[in-house]
Amino acid sequence: MKHCLLVVVLSFTVTLAAAPLAAAAIKAEGELENAMLLQQKGDFDGAIASFSAWLKKHPNDADAYVGRGGSKLNQRDFEGAMTDFNRAIKLDPNHAAAYVARGMVKFSRGDLEDAMADAEQAVKLDPKLASAYNCRGGIKHTQGNDEGAIADYDRAIELDPKYADAYTNRGISKSARGDLDGAIADCTRAIELDPKDFRAFNNRGDIKRAKGDLDGALADLAGAIELNPKDPAAFNNRGNARHTKGDFDRAIADLTRAIELNPKDATSHNNRGNVRDSKDDFKEAVADFTRAIELDPKYAAAYRGRSLVRYEQDDLEGAMADCERAIKLDPKFAGAYNCRGCIKHKQGDDDGAMADYGRAIELNPKFAEAYGNRGESKLAKGDFDGAIADCTRSIELDPKIAHAFNNRGAAKRAKGDLDGALTDLAHAMELNPKYPAAYNNRGLTRYTKGDFDGGLADLSHAIELDPKSGDAYLARGTVRTEMGDLDGAMADYDRGIELGPKSTGAFLGRGLVHYRQQNWLKASADFETEIRQQNAVDHGALMACTVKMRMGQGDAGRKELRAWLETRGDAKRGDWISQAGNFLLGDLDEAGLLKAADAPDAKKTSRQCCNAWYVAGMKRLGAGQKAEAADCFRKCIATEQKGLATHALATAELGWLGEK
């Protein structure tokens, strides 16, 4: 779940009207003309000095105040710019350009309502002033009205076909509407009109990044920086492009430079936090996100970013608090719902997670990551077809998401499509060679296919990549159990439980090793712990009963099993686990058990028959019918379901009976 917030700079150049300036320049013997030239070159200090010199001699020149205010605005001296624009309007209440300029200051401060009022007044005073429409378009874009913004930019270009800023800004709105090719065309036209327009290079570079043309993006952003080495937005956007390319160190260097140029820019702090998160530098990432929030307490993306880091550090409470805040600040923030879904999934609340992923997809139907994550929750719920459908949609939207291939592979494995699973998992590892979950799932798939050595190798590599992955230790414990390395399996289960004491199936797996070692008391304790887990594997209850029968405590085991079955509710009363439980309790005969094992899917029938013959054998064994029990265990083994624990246990029981 890595994300990057981009900075796209709207282009607003404050200049004076051509005719008044030409006349003034003659009177001032070049002073005002020099100020204009300095402003156009980006020498705003020099321009301010020249405008100030002129104003000492002509304190009532509204145009000069607009010009000086424009240079101050470009230096982000909002207070100084506002003072100059207010003075210009006081001197000339009908000065449309002054209203445009003041509207831009208000826009830069985030005061969109008052900014719009000034832009509207400028249009009213001079309906043919192109810059007024350009300014109003920028405000509409920021308000989310890109259709209206494009209409204003169109009008600005109609009035002034060589208005480079308007082309650049229209490109930004086209980008926001998904028309990336149109956006690039507009920025290119702006550059043709003004090859020194660093903002156009910056914006075109950012749009190319969105299109996936990272080399083209970096070239444009380098051009923007060459034209204006003090533009923080270009450094910010180049940092984002380098982040996307995986060049984390240089991305951090660019974003740090952006912050040096504009220390109060919350966006650059947020984006540097994203890169540091990608480098697993969680402490510094949290510091960046926290600083972004201090600079802008309503910055939803920064709360979401900090939430992701806390999620990765297993601080689920802190992650949830940040995510809830992001959603409160921006109820239409799809990324925040996706993030909250991930937290809920990790907490075991997959119903809640799927609701959040669904909301994220509703807000952004092309949100590939949300589809992949919802597929993972469906996988956890046992909806394998739904998981495959969601992961497939994720891959269609973004073929480079390794996570979606991994989850689809896991779902295919669960459905028995082992070859399809291996293909997807190989693709996941091709996209991300250091993806431990993909090695974990391929290891399990190879194990299920009977390739124990290959499975063991993959799971060992998963542990090398992520030594704190409890799931990988548990999976390797399963493989080692099947290979007969019970001591190695026990060590893996112990470590897996240490790392993830609430992991589904952990105590069941270790209990099965204790069972194979004929350590009935420890096996019983682990099975009973398993069924108390929040996401317990239901087979744990059956094993808890059968091991009690093995210990000669059948009545106690059946009593506990009956109590457990009562807790499952009416919806599960007729499922396979309940039927197997009813058989152990004596409420269903052997013929009924085998009938219940029959399913429309042949593979499922075979698996359930394997389990059925094992529990039948254990019931016979508990009744002292050793020969009949041995026959049941042979039938269990005959299903050839070597990946099932009951197959291994039947083999062990048959050996303990001295049978083959």
Q: What is the pLDDT of residue 18?
A: 30
Specify the DSSP element, H or E, that contains 508: helix 506-516
What is the rounded distance in angstroms from the CA atom of residue 292 to the CA atom of residue 482? 52
At residue 233, does pLDDT exceed 70?
yes
Residue keyed to tokens 């009363």: 573
Of the candidate ranges 102-116, 488-502, 567-581, 625-639, the one whose mean pLDDT is the lowest: 567-581
Q: What is the pLDDT of residue 110?
A: 83
Q: What is the pLDDT of residue 660?
A: 61
Phi and psi torsions of 86, nearest 5°:
-60, -40
- Extended strands (E) in 181-326: none
What DSSP assignment string belongs to 611-628?
HHHHHHHHHHHHTT-HHH
The CA–CA distances, whole Å, from 110 to 107, 140, 327, 394, 486 equal 5, 12, 20, 36, 66
Q: What is the pLDDT of residue 601?
A: 85
Looking at per-residue pLDDT, the higher value among 642 and 367 belongs to 367
- The residues near 652 (Cβ < 8 Å, ≥ 6 apart) are 515, 516
Q: What is the pLDDT of residue 397?
A: 96
Q: What is the pLDDT of residue 12?
A: 44
Q: What is the pLDDT of residue 574?
A: 81
Query: What is the average pLDDT across 317-334?
Result: 96
Q: What is the pLDDT of residue 16?
A: 33
Average pLDDT, the chain: 90
Label residue 387 by pLDDT band (50, 70, 90): very high
Looking at per-residue pLDDT, the higher value among 603 and 446 belongs to 446
The number of angstroms, rounded, from the C-alpha of 13 to the middle of its chain's C-alpha atoms is 37
Q: Label each residue of 372-409 as H, E or C.
A: HHHHHHHHHCCCHHHHHHHHHHHHHHCCCCHHHHHHHH
493-546 tens-digit pLDDT: 999 999 988 887 889 999 999 999 999 999 999 999 988 887 777 888 899 999
Q: What is the pLDDT of residue 1?
A: 42
What is the rounded distance in angstroms from the CA atom of residue 207 to the CA atom of residue 174? 10
- 10 Å CB burial of residue 351 (0-12, 13-18, 19+) is exposed
114-167 tens-digit pLDDT: 999 999 999 999 999 999 999 999 999 999 899 999 999 999 999 999 999 999
Q: What is the pLDDT of residue 506?
A: 87
The number of angstroms, rounded, from the C-alpha of 594 to the middle of its chain's C-alpha atoms is 46
Question: For residue 244, what are its two tokens?
Answer: 């996307």
- CA torsion sign for 26, 29, 31, 35 is positive
- The residues near 488 (Cβ < 8 Å, ≥ 6 apart) are 477, 480
Query: What is the average pLDDT across 345-360?
Result: 95
Q: What is the pLDDT of residue 145?
A: 95
**DSSP code of residue 601:** S
The CA–CA distances, whole Å, from 183 to 97, 146, 168, 172, 192 equal 27, 12, 8, 6, 14
- 10 Å CB burial of residue 371 (0-12, 13-18, 19+) is buried
What is the rounded distance in angstroms from the CA atom of residue 245 to the CA atom of residue 57? 55
At residue 202, does pLDDT exceed 90?
yes
Question: For residue 363, what are its two tokens?
Answer: 């807000």
Q: What is the pLDDT of residue 643?
A: 73
Give percent of the chain with pLDDT exceeding 70: 95
Is residue 24 within 8 A of residue 57, CB to CB? The reply is: no
Q: What is the pLDDT of residue 538?
A: 82
Give percent of the chain with pLDDT exceeding 90: 77
Query: What is the average pLDDT across 454-465?
Result: 97
Q: What is the pLDDT of residue 17?
A: 33
Q: What is the pLDDT of residue 29?
A: 46
Of the candidate ranges 99-113, 277-291, 449-463, 532-546, the one whose mean pLDDT is the lowest: 532-546
Looking at per-residue pLDDT, the higher value among 582 and 32 belongs to 582
Q: What is the pLDDT of residue 21?
A: 30
At residue 93, does pLDDT exceed 60?
yes
Residue keyed to tokens 């075991």: 348
Label residue 644 by pLDDT band (50, 70, 90): confident
Question: For residue 507, what are its two tokens?
Answer: 């105590």
What is the rounded distance in angstroms from the CA atom of residue 657 to the CA atom of residue 7? 72
- The residues near 50 (Cβ < 8 Å, ≥ 6 apart) are 31, 32, 34, 35, 38
What DSSP assignment string belongs to 448-490?
HTT-HHHHHHHHHHHHHH-TT-HHHHHHHHHHHHHTT-HHHHH
Label residue 8 by pLDDT band (50, 70, 90): very low
